[in-house]
Each structure stands twice: as structure tokens, then as C-alpha cells.
Amino acid sequence: MNLILFGPPAAGKGTQAKKLVAERAFIQLSTGDMLRAARTSGTELGKKVAGIMDSGSLVSDEIVIALIEEQLDRNPKAPGFIFDGFPRTIPQAEALDASLAKRGKKVDSVIRLKVDEAALLARVTKRFEDEGRADDNPDAFKKRLVAYNAQTAPLLPKYAKEGKLTEIDGMASPDKVAAAISGCLDGAGKPAKPD
């Protein structure tokens, strides 16, 4: 089972991915976490992407696709992958399809956490206070939302057309969201038509 957790920044994708890792032994592939780790360890890649990330823009498709490929190769026996924050553009989605196909796998399910963008700003303000991520400051966050709406949301019709998309209320409590995701993975989800 390979699952994409889909939604704007701060929709709760990371929280839900971690629950699935704990409950189902899936492997979480968060390109945001990988890029932050590269920055923390001071690699050339980390230095290259720091400014782009802090401004709220997307790093290049080439960089994130290479990170994902590396992880797919490193975990050939994984029972499933949760893609968190990837794909974020049409070329990334196409590359993911090709990378998985090369390994005899596919995207099985795309779960969209539907959220109220105004409420996200409040969430992110709190995360900024708790974690101090530079890209959670209000200006960068607004830019991340613009990037999501312009570059990432256009992927929804592709996954809807493929019958893989399920929409879940991401404003519910984390436990309720987790229960809805479990229901979807266990077969209760209904294909969605994105608005």
C-alpha cells in the first residue's frame, strides 16, 4: 500500500504519517523532513536549499525526486510508503508514477486533508512559537499556501480521475482524522471529486 497524504502546509500530514508508521509499519517519506535534515547536517544540498525553504518557495523537482528515489532504493521490502509533502508538482507526480512502476509498485491511495486556510494560519503561528521553523513565519507561510494552490492543488484532478482520491475533514481532531484515514485504508473510503 503506497499512500500520498495530500494537503496544504500545516494540514496535519506529518502528524498523521507518524501515526501510520506506528500502527502499520509503513515508511514515511517526507521531503520536507529530508531537506531539514540536510540543513541540520550542513551538507551542500542543505546549504543550497536553505534560502529557498525559508522564503516559502518550492525547491527544484530534480532535488526532491532524487531524494525520493534514494529512499525507495533503500527500503525495497517496505510494506508501504507514506508520501508526505511529495509530490507537490505535476512533474513530481509523473516522476513518482515512473519510479514506482520501475519497482513494480504504484500509488494506491491519495488522502486529501481538507482544511480551512484561515485556521491554518493560527496553527502555524503556534508551531512557529513551539518549533521556531523559519518558514512558519506568517509571510513565508502565505507564500507556501500560494505555492500549494498554484502548483500542488492542480494534482487533485489527476488522482480523482484515477479513482484514488479520498477527502477527509482535516479540521477534526487528530484522532478523528486518524480514524477516517484508517477507514479509508481498510476499504471504507469513497472516491472523491475535488472542488
Can you name the residues that pair with 110 across neighbouring β-strands? 4, 165
Residue nearest to ligand AMP as judged by C-beta position: 32
Shortest spacing between CB 187 and ligand AMP, in angstroms: 28
Binding site for ligand AMP (CB under 6 A): 9, 31-32, 35, 52-53, 56-59, 64, 85-86, 88, 92, 135, 144
Query: Would you please indicate which residues are annotated as catalytic (active-site) residues?
Result: 13, 88, 127, 133, 144
Residue type, 98: A
Alpha helix (H) ranges present in the chain? 13-24, 31-40, 44-55, 61-74, 90-102, 117-131, 138-147, 156-161, 174-183
Q: Name the β-bridge partners of 4.
A: 83, 110
- Read off the amino acid at residue 41: S
User: Smallest gap, in angstroms, from Cβ of residue 2 to ligand AMP?
Assistant: 16
State the amino acid at position 133 in one-letter form.
Answer: R
Give kind and range of the element (H or E) at residue 3: strand 2-6
Q: How far is the CB of 80 from ligand AMP (least distance, A)?
A: 19
Cβ 52 to ligand AMP, closest distance in Å?
6
Compute the distance between CA of residue 3 and CA of residue 80 in angstroms, rounded to an integer: 8
For ligand AMP, give the closer residue by CB, 46 or 191: 46
The C-alpha angle 65, 38, 88, rounded to 5 degrees, equals: 35
Q: Name which of 135 and 167 has its Cβ closer to ligand AMP.
A: 135
* Cis, peptide link before residue 194, omega less than 30° from 0: no
Q: Which residue has the cell 550542513?
A: 42
Query: Minimum CB separation from ligand AMP for residue 20, in Å?
Result: 16
Closest CB to ligand AMP among residues 64, 177: 64
> Closest CB to ligand AMP among 59 and 177?
59
DSSP 69: H
Q: Which is nearer to ligand AMP, 158 or 189 (CB)?
A: 158
**Angle at CA of residue 157, ends 154 and 162, nearest 5°:** 135
